[in-house]
């Protein structure tokens, strides 16, 4: 969202407290937030959400003004960076990463802002992902997990049941191919969101991007075995469709699924709406692993953070306590088919029959693993994966060689070389 969902937030605020000219009255405070747009049109732009939230907050907090500037995901991270580089950071930013700003000492610690109740309400895995050296700087803002989507009609026509293991997935894909399905399994390893598809497969193979102590381990034995299986059992057998995985982007794979051309693919909640709009009947199951369901699925979170430069931690914290109230977290999650980042809102969603289609994603959240967003090198490593990993399953590609190259690039980025 990586899509999904995505396919991850920064928060900084500006305000002025204290008296002036001998007056006992505090000055009015203006908090400025730069946020990402989760909408796909002007009609559902996140600007509307934030404007309504800010107006409701201001009505209860005279003297506090909240100005929100929403930018597309293509521009928002760069816009915040420009503001910081100019020495005029926003008071809040809700974007895809926080680690660089935390490393520079620009951010408030979450414990200096939020009430104890709000801090304790974050979903634990998401809160931990916002920590650097065991101190939380990033506040999760929106999250999603991944499930395996399958086309119910194509499966029924072929007499198939959804797979629970790699072997079953390959067998189902083979049966779908025999019936002329264009993409038996869509494997989007193109540059748009290859880091997401890659992580899902690495996790299902028993490993991931990092080892148990948090060091990059892209070329681990398990990871090489995973990509070798993908290359030999899916790609080389023609089970991934007419477009080479290295050239297939996630958005194109989702669009093909919504046209009824894909038997299976990994997807996030927004795919539900796209497929339903096109009349595709689909099911969703946990991502298969080597010998059964994967021990973990990929989780994704975007981040809120608060910059220290303009001060006013008290006002920032009070506003963020409001942002993270159950009502507001649920409202945002419902508006954009995302998962709540707080336990209270997650429990409310789980109990709501109207949210039945999100239950599978919610169940995966406690066992999900996130990108290593606490590393300042992650943005560089992610970009390298997007550009290179698809070559690992190309006709002349070598999984061991490509993952080895990515490992060396990751180690260089992590050491600042």
Write out pLDDT tens, residues 359-406. 999 999 888 999 999 999 999 999 999 999 999 999 999 999 999 999
Residues 280, 256: Cα–Cα separation, whole Å:
11
Length of the chain (residues): 417
Q: Which single residue is written with the structure tokens 């060689």? A: 401
Question: 14 pLDDT exceeds 80?
Answer: no
Task: Look at residue 281 in the predicted model and tell me its pLDDT.
Answer: 97
Question: 415 pLDDT exceeds 80?
Answer: yes
For residue 265, give the H/E element and its range.
Answer: strand 262-267
- Beta-carbon contacts of residue 269 (< 8 Å; ≥ 6 apart): 5, 144, 337, 338, 339, 358, 361
What mean pLDDT comes out for the span 301-313? Answer: 96
The ranges assigned to domains in the chain are 2-145+299-370, 147-286+378-415
DSSP string over 177-243: HHTT-SEEE----STTTHHHHHHHHHHHTT--SB-TTS-B-TT-HHHHHHHHHIIIIIITTT-S-SS
Task: Give 417's pLDDT tier (boundaries 50, 70, 90).
Answer: low
Query: Tell me, which fold does domain 147-286+378-415 have in CATH?
Result: D-Maltodextrin-Binding Protein; domain 2 (3.40.190)
What is the percent of the chain with per-residue pLDDT over 90, rounded to a whole number? Answer: 87
Q: Which residue, 373, 376, 377, is CA-closest to 408? A: 377
Options 3.40.190.10, 3.40.50.10190, 2.60.40.10, 1.10.8.60; which CATH number does 2-145+299-370 get? 3.40.190.10
Q: Give the tokens for residue 340.
A: 């709540």
Q: Which residue, 260, 180, 248, 220, is CA-closest to 394? A: 248
Residues 226, 218: Cα–Cα separation, whole Å:
11
CA angle 6, 84, 38 (to 5 degrees): 25
DSSP secondary-structure letter at 107? B
pTM for this model (two decimals): 0.86
Q: Which residue, 366, 190, 357, 339, is CA-closest to 283? A: 357
Strands (E), 72-190: 92-95, 131-132, 135-136, 139-145, 147-151, 183-185
Task: Give 37's pLDDT tier (boundaries 50, 70, 90).
Answer: very high
- Beta-carbon contacts of residue 274 (< 8 Å; ≥ 6 apart): 254, 255, 257, 258
């Amino acid at each position: 969202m990586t899509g999904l969902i995505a396919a991850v937030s920064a928060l900084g605020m500006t305000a002025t407290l204290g008296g002036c000219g001998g007056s006992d009255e505090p000055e009015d405070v203006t908090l400025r937030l730069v946020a990402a747009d989760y909408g796909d049109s002007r009609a559902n732009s996140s600007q509307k959400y934030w404007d309504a939230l800010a107006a409701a907050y201001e009505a209860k907090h005279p003297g506090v003004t909240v100005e929100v500037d929403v930018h597309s995901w293509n521009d928002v991270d760069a816009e915040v960076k420009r503001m910081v580089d100019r020495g005029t950071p926003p008071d809040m930013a809700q974007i895809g990463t926080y680690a660089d700003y935390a490393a520079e000492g620009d951010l408030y610690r979450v414990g200096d802002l939020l009430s104890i109740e709000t801090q304790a309400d974050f979903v634990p895995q998401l809160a931990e992902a916002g920590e650097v050296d065991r101190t939380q700087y990033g506040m999760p803002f929106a999250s999603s997990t991944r499930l395996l989507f399958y086309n119910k009609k194509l499966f029924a026509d072929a007499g198939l049941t959804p797979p629970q293991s790699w072997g079953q997935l390959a067998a189902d894909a083979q049966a779908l191919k025999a019936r002329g399905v264009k993409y038996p399994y869509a494997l989007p390893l193109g540059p748009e969101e290859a880091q997401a598809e890659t992580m899902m497969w690495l996790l299902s193979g028993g490993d991931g991007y990092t080892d148990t102590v948090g060091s990059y381990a892209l070329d681990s034995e398990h990871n090489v075995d995973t990509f070798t299986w993908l290359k030999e059992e899916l790609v080389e057998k023609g089970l991934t469709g007419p477009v080479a995985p290295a050239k297939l982007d996630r958005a194109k794979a989702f669009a093909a699924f919504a046209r009824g051309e894909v038997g299976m693919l990994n997807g996030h909640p927004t795919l539900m709406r796209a497929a339903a709009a096109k009349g595709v009947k689909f099911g969703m199951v946990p991502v298969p692993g080597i010998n059964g369901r994967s021990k973990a699925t990929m989780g994704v979170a975007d981040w809120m953070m608060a910059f220290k430069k303009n001060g006013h931690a008290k006002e920032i914290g009070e506003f963020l306590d409001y942002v993270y109230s159950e009502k507001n977290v649920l409202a945002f999650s419902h508006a954009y088919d995302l998962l709540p980042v707080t336990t209270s809102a997650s429990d409310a969603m789980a109990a709501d029959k109207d949210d039945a289609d999100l239950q599978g994603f919610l169940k995966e959240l406690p066992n999900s693993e996130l990108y290593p967003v606490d590393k300042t090198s992650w943005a560089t490593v992610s970009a390298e994966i997007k550009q290179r990993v698809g070559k690992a399953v190309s006709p002349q590609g070598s999984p061991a060689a490509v993952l080895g190259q990515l490992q060396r690039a990751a180690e260089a980025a992590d050491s600042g070389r």
